[in-house]
Amino acid sequence: MPPLGDQLLPTLATDDFYNETKAKIFLQFYDQTAKVVLNQFMEATWNYVTNITRKNQEEMLHKDMERSQFMIYFGIRACLFKVAQFQDQDVKRMLRKLQNIDKVALPKDELREYNELLANMEMTYSMAQVCLNERPCLSLEPELEEVMATSRNKEELLWAWQGWRDAVGCQIRTTFEHYVELSNKAAQLNDYKDMGALWRSKYESDTLKQDLERFFQELRPLYLNLHTYMHRALHRHYGPELIDLRGPIPAHLRGKGPAGGRVLGQHLRPGPALLPKKIPEDVTKIMKGQHWKSEKMFEDSEKFFTSLGLLPAPPSFWKKSMLTRPTDGREVECHTSAWNLYLDDDFRIKKCTEVTIEDLLSIFHEMSHIQYFLQYKNLSIIFCEGANPAFEEAVGSVITLLASSHKHLLNIGLLSLKHQDSEDEVNFLMRIALQKIAFIPFGYLLDLFH
């Protein structure tokens, strides 16, 4: 039995599972106890990713098993309620969400193994470095990402791209294969064909695949034009010995991060432009010239949200978040993420911030997640998540587009008035297309694979 055990849960008789009032009492009790259990798990996870040690990993895994037992307990009982007979649509939806216990459906030993596999892969990913001769060793974030975003040296780009795959991919390949096996088993125990089917079920659409295929086909002509333009631009820069106009574009030359984060020159520093004579201003250079700090980047992001009449981050956000890489020697996971710790307005961001335009826009994206958390904090904990797995990301993307506009950058002093004509706007739209349009087929193919 999970923490806050059976003795606290009102006794449920067989007839109670037909009773909608009893179902509401059951859900209220779940809400009260889940906040404590989930907070303990999230706190332990936070402690681990901001201080990667075996001790912290073991504590995180222990709290994950407690959370899993808790979810099994309530998931099994949620399945006993005769949901079809109830009238309250919220009650029906909440019970159905509780019934899907995801990886927790695995037998206890396999669940522990699943959690350990995932934690070990994350540790390898976070701590891996690429080293070469007398050069300093580089981690993925921010060093290798910086190399891939700014370097145009073909040898250096290949070193970063290949080195990361050698340092991480070779180590986790076998682990990942077993992780996939266990993931698919968990999905099948939840009555899904595989984990991909379980993921797609969260979108609650019977036509998701068809809708995405139709959207991809509509986008395809524009994507092919972008791809052709970039293909020829890279051919002009690197020459025919590296770029075959009839072959694929080498992955390490596309401005794509070594872990797969960028596609077709997906960065905002001066780069590909339809009108190359109009050289875009280097916003990162301007930020550094104005002596921006990470604190100012987050403060400016919050000003943007509050100027729209939205909520400020609570005081605990500024106290508990990790907004820069610690300097006390701790190993941390630098992958940027926003966190809801499910208790007392405890929302945080974990980021190893660098003073760049990419990181500024990333902050706007992550602060949109914090805003989302603030907006739904008074709902049942079952509803404290995005409408579907992509919805929060879509909100973040909209905010990022607004923040990257010429008007906003001009308002905060990161662009000059001379960069406000129609040709600058065309170049701006080109860079946005290389970030957003080019990523869609890449993401779509990944989803088809799953």
319 and 398 together in one domain: yes
Q: Total domain count for the chain?
A: 3
Q: Are 391 and 330 in contact (CB under 8 A)?
A: no
Whole-number pLDDT of residue 262: 43
When pLDDT is averaged across residues 77-94 and rounded to a whole number, the result is 92
Nearest to 438, CA basis, from 277, 230, 188: 230
- Residue 41 vs residue 253, higher pLDDT: 41
Instruction: Tell me the per-residue pLDDT of 239-253, one tens digit each, with 9 for 90 and over.
Output: 999 999 999 888 888
Percent share of the chain, pLDDT over 70: 91
pLDDT over threshold 70, residue 256: no
95 and 133 together in one domain: no
383 and 291 together in one domain: yes
Per the domain annotation, does 253 fall within a domain? no
Name, of 18-32, 308-322, 430-444, the range with top average pLDDT.
Answer: 308-322
Domain end position, chosen among 202, 226, 261: 202
Whole-number pLDDT of residue 186: 96
**Residue 60 CB partners (closer than 8 Å, separation 6+):** 41, 44, 45, 47, 48, 119
305 and 379 together in one domain: yes
When pLDDT is averaged across residues 136-162 and rounded to a whole number, the result is 85
Whole-number pLDDT of residue 31: 94
Whole-number pLDDT of residue 230: 86
Burial 321-359 (b: 16+ CB within 10 A, else e): bbbebeeeeeebbbbbebbbbbeeebbbbbbbbbbbbbb
Whole-number pLDDT of residue 273: 59
Per the domain annotation, does 61 fall within a domain? yes
How many residues belong to the chain?
Answer: 450
Confidence of residue 270 (pLDDT cuts 50, 70, 90): very low
Domain end position, chosen among 202, 234, 256: 202
Per the domain annotation, does 429 fall within a domain? no
Per the domain annotation, does 425 fall within a domain? no
Instruction: Tell me the per-residue pLDDT of 320-360, one tens digit each, with 9 for 90 and over.
Output: 999 999 999 999 999 899 999 998 899 999 999 999 998 99
68 and 146 together in one domain: no
71 and 148 together in one domain: no
Per the domain annotation, does 353 fall within a domain? yes
pLDDT over threshold 60, residue 129: yes
Instruction: Tell me the per-residue pLDDT of 167-185, one tens digit each, with 9 for 90 and over.
Output: 898 899 999 999 999 999 9
Q: Are 382 and 29 in contact (CB under 8 A)?
A: no
Whole-number pLDDT of residue 255: 66
pLDDT over threshold 80, residue 372: yes
80 and 178 together in one domain: no
What's phi and psi for 350, nearest 5 deg? -115, 115
User: By mean pLDDT, which of 20-24, 277-281, 323-327, 443-447 is the weakest?
Assistant: 277-281
Confidence of residue 43 (pLDDT cuts 50, 70, 90): very high
pLDDT over threshold 60, residue 271: no
Instruction: Tell me the per-residue pLDDT of 386-399, one tens digit each, with 9 for 90 and over.
Output: 888 889 999 999 99
Instruction: Tell me the per-residue pLDDT of 188-206, one tens digit each, with 9 for 90 and over.
Output: 999 999 999 999 998 888 8
Per the domain annotation, does 267 fall within a domain? no
pLDDT over threshold 50, residue 429: yes
327 and 404 together in one domain: yes
Q: What pTM was estimated for this model as a whole?
A: 0.87
Whole-number pLDDT of residue 264: 44
Whole-number pLDDT of residue 300: 96
Whole-number pLDDT of residue 355: 95
Residue with tokens 């040296």: 153
Instruction: Tell me the per-residue pLDDT of 281-290, one tens digit each, with 9 for 90 and over.
Output: 889 999 999 9
53 and 141 together in one domain: no
Per the domain annotation, does 252 fall within a domain? no
> For the chain, what is the mean pLDDT?
88
- Residue 328 vs residue 13, higher pLDDT: 328
pLDDT over threshold 90, residue 371: yes
pLDDT over threshold 90, residue 435: no
Confidence of residue 138 (pLDDT cuts 50, 70, 90): confident
Neighbours of 156 (CB within 10 A): 16
189 and 297 together in one domain: no
pLDDT over threshold 60, residue 268: no
Q: What is the DSSP letter of 313?
A: P
Confidence of residue 9 (pLDDT cuts 50, 70, 90): low
Per the domain annotation, does 56 fall within a domain? yes
Confidence of residue 419 (pLDDT cuts 50, 70, 90): low
Spell out the SS3 assignment of 251-304. Answer: HHHCCCCCCCCCCCCCCCCCCCCCCCCCCCCCHHHHHHHCCCCHHHHHHHHHHH
Whole-number pLDDT of residue 48: 96
pLDDT over threshold 50, residue 265: no
When pLDDT is averaged across residues 400-426 and rounded to a whole number, the result is 84
- Residue 185 vs residue 271, higher pLDDT: 185
134 and 61 together in one domain: no
| Domain encompassing residue 25 | 6-99
